[in-house]
């Protein structure tokens, strides 16, 4: 097999974050080297507890978890993650692991791991970009030290989800997103432009659950809440596949059509807060700073997910 990508996942688990982490662990193309945690779907302590729980279920209690920001850079947190992911972030299942939340900090972890392996690590960011913005501000050399920063976030040519124009991860910390987009590292944006094209239906989830492994049993417990939220809030029988699609971009980039473009984030207008504006016609005459995913092989993502996650065997 070709080169194995070393990844750190920055995440706010989160139902689809959990699904994404499982895809990463189940894929031989990736080597997950740790999880850094950020407030997003729920508070950072609860997200960290969830990360520890899901790693334990996946047989990866060995992986480091590092705790990051519990609030956005500038403004108060105003997201509504709990309505989509449950008060506990895992669909109100009350799942809990056995390990205490470690005293390891996300910014230190990102800086030390990336600095120790220049050009080697890919960061896959599945939540608000607060941790990444802090890390690259404290250590600007990170911008030249990562292989790629893959961000689940934004909506450049489609409507938003948190607001009519903004995607939730960007909207929850727009100032951080702005720093990350302009830091000078290679950013790939896996936004609603593609994730709204990939839907997991109840029938698909049943096929996944049929594997009856510890991981698919976990997903079968937490996804009904997510399905309910989509039914209530979006009016569809199924859910859009956000965070796992971003992990898929690290595993199989050939499933995506991308374009290099200048992208900025609105931070100074309440109505448009967190909107990601892409200058497709280069009217601002600025150099591209982001590779945006504009189209995706949706069936390819669904097939990859089912194959990997249903086939995953928890290491002894
Ligand atoms: C993003 O928002 C969160 O609710 C999900 O986990 C995902 O990262 C989708 O907009
Ligand atoms: Ca997330």
- Identify the nearest ligand to the CA of 190 by its number: 1
Over the chain, what is the mean pLDDT? 97
Q: Cβ(72) to ligand 1 under 6 A?
A: no
Confidence of residue 1 (pLDDT cuts 50, 70, 90): low
Mutate to test the pocket of ligand 1, among 9, 15, 16, 78 (most ligand atoms within 8 A of CB): 16
Identify whether the C-beta of residue 309 lies closer than 8 Å to the C-beta of residue 207: no
Domain ranges of the chain: 5-310
What superfamily does domain 5-310 belong to in CATH? Ribonucleoside hydrolase-like (3.90.245.10)
Q: Cβ(10) to ligand 1 under 6 A?
A: no
Q: Lowest mean pLDDT: which of 15-24, 79-88, 189-198?
A: 79-88
Please give the backbone phi and psi of residue 277, each rounded to the nearest 5 degrees, phi first: -105, 125
3-class DSSP string for 201-267: CHHHHHHHHCCCCHHHHHHHHHHHHHHHHHHHHCCCCCEECCHHHHHHHHHCHHHEEEEEECEEECC
Confidence of residue 308 (pLDDT cuts 50, 70, 90): very high
Asked if pLDDT for residue 82 goes beyond 60, the answer is yes
Average pLDDT on 72-100 reads 92
- What's the chain's length in residues? 316
In this prediction, residue 96 carries a pLDDT of 82
pLDDT tens for each residue of 92-133: 999 987 889 999 999 999 999 999 999 999 999 999 999 999
- The strand order across the sheet containing 146-152 reads 65-67, 30-37, 5-11, 121-125, 146-152, 187-190, 290-296, 256-261
- Identify the nearest ligand to the CA of 39 by its number: 2
Q: Cβ(167) to ligand 1 under 6 A?
A: yes
State the burial class of residue 284 (Cβ atoms within 10 Å of its Cβ: 0-12, 13-18, 19+).
exposed
In this prediction, residue 79 carries a pLDDT of 81
Helix H or strand E segment including 182: none
In this prediction, residue 78 carries a pLDDT of 84
Q: Which residues contact 106 (CB under 8 A, 6 or more apart)?
A: 10, 36, 37, 38, 66, 67, 68, 69, 131, 135
Please give the backbone phi and psi of residue 99, each rounded to the nearest 5 degrees, phi first: -90, 140
pLDDT tens for each residue of 201-253: 999 999 999 999 999 999 999 999 999 999 999 999 999 999 999 999 999 99
Confidence of residue 39 (pLDDT cuts 50, 70, 90): very high
Average pLDDT on 252-262 reads 98
Give the distance (Å) from ligand 2 centre to CA of residue 14.
6
Confidence of residue 2 (pLDDT cuts 50, 70, 90): low
Q: In this prediction, what percent of the chain has a pLDDT beyond 70?
A: 99
Q: Cβ(18) to ligand 1 under 6 A?
A: no
How far is Cα 93 from Cα 97, in angstroms, rounded to an integer?
Answer: 12
How far is Cα 181 from Cα 316, in angstroms, rounded to an integer?
Answer: 40
Q: Lowest mean pLDDT: which of 75-84, 129-138, 144-153?
A: 75-84
Residue with tokens 């699609």: 245
Ligand 1 atom with the shortest distance to the CA of 192: 10
DSSP string computed for 83-102: HHH-TTSSTT-----SSPPP
Give the distance (Å) from ligand 2 centre to CA of residue 197.
17
**Which residues are identified as catalytic?**
12, 242
pTM of the model: 0.98
In this prediction, residue 122 carries a pLDDT of 98
Closest CA to 205 of 223, 181, 188: 223
How far is Cα 104 from Cα 35, in angstroms, rounded to an integer?
Answer: 11
How far is Cα 258 from Cα 149, in angstroms, rounded to an integer?
Answer: 15
Give the distance (Å) from ligand 2 centre to CA of residue 184.
23
Closest CA to 82 of 128, 20, 130, 39: 39
Within a 13 Å sphere around the CA of 109, how many CA atoms are in the beta-carbon half? 24
Give the distance (Å) from ligand 2 centre to CA of residue 156.
18
């Amino acid at each position: 097999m070709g080169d194995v990508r070393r990844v750190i996942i920055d995440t706010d688990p989160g139902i689809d974050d959990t699904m994404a982490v499982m895809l990463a662990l189940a894929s031989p193309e990736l080597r997950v080297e740790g999880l850094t945690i950020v407030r997003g779907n729920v508070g950072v302590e609860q997200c960290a507890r969830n990360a520890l729980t899901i790693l334990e279920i996946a047989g990866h209690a060995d992986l480091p978890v590092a705790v990051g920001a519990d609030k956005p850079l500038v403004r108060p947190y105003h997201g509504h993650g709990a309505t989509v992911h449950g008060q506990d972030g895992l669909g109100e299942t009350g799942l809990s692991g056995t390990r205490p939340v470690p005293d390891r900090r996300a910014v230190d972890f990102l800086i030390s791991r990336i600095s120790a392996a220049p050009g080697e690590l890919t960061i896959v960011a599945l939540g608000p970009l607060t941790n990444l913005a802090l890390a690259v501000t404290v250590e600007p050399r990170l911008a030249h030290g990562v292989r790629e920063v893959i961000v689940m976030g934004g909506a450049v040519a489609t409507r938003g989800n948190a607001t009519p124009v903004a995607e939730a991860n960007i909207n929850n910390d727009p100032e951080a997103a702005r720093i990350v987009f302009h830091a000078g590292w290679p950013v790939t944006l896996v936004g609603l432009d593609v994730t709204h094209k990939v839907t997991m239906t109840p029938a698909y989830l049943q096929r996944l659950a049929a594997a009856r492994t510890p991981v698919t049993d976990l997903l079968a417990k937490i996804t009904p809440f997510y399905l309910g939220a989509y039914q209530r809030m979006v009016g569809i029988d199924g859910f859009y596949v956000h965070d796992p699609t971003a992990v898929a971009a690290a595993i199989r980039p050939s499933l995506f059509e991308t374009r290099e473009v200048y992208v900025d984030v609105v931070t100074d207008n309440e109505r448009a807060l967190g909107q990601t504006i892409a200058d497709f016609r280069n009217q601002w005459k600025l150099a591209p700073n982001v590779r945006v995913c504009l189209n995706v092989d949706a069936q390819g993502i669904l097939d990859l997910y089912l194959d990997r996650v249903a086939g995953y065997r928890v290491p002894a």
